[in-house]
């Protein structure tokens, strides 16, 4: 069965939806957005996967990528406890994302999914994109879309990593 086109799904909001691996193995999706890192700012970070156990998700991420499905992490969400009150807090969030979920490692920084690296980050921010503006110093570019979403590019200070999430 061939790909159905460019179909993306949010995963992680319902513990009854099955595993990430199962979603990727359906053959229906070209991208999965894991939701949400919904607490950030003021030095706090929390990932909410609505009852999904963290154990095994790193292996599922790598499996999905091996079958050609990109996997991104969505930050924000509906009613989350997130704020970027200063440019410094936006830079701190960018560093947290880079070190904990994307392409780098640092001694003492916990990577919740082990060696797995997300293909990108999706900003799902309410209200309207106030946090998008705060994130701009941490991004090489920021494309706004309807609904307050944005897809940042990795900063060149991160070693020229290129797109964090390629959007169409």
The set of catalytic residues is 126
The strand pair at 31-41 and 44-47 is best described as antiparallel
CA distances from 38 to 48, 78, 116 (A): 7, 8, 20
Please count the other Cβ atoms lying within 10 Å of the Cβ belonging to residue 30.
15
Q: Determine contact, residues 120/72, Cβ cutoff 8 Å.
A: yes
């Amino acid at each position: 069965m061939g790909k159905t086109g460019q179909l993306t799904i949010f995963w992680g909001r319902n513990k009854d939806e099955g595993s990430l691996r199962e979603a990727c193995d359906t053959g229906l999706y070209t991208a999965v957005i894991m939701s949400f890192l919904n607490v950030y700012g003021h030095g706090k970070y929390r990932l909410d996967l609505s009852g999904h156990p963290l154990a095994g998700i790193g292996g599922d991420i790598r499996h999905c990528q091996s079958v050609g499905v990109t996997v991104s992490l969505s930050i924000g969400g509906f009613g989350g406890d997130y704020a970027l009150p200063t440019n410094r807090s936006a830079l701190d969030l960018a560093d947290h994302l880079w070190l904990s979920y994307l392409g780098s490692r640092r001694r003492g920084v916990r990577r919740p999914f082990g060696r797995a690296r997300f293909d990108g980050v999706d900003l799902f921010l309410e209200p309207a994109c106030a946090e998008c503006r705060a994130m701009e110093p941490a991004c090489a570019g920021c494309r706004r879309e309807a609904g307050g979403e944005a897809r940042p590019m990795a900063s060149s200070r991160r070693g020229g990593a290129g797109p964090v999430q390629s959007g169409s």
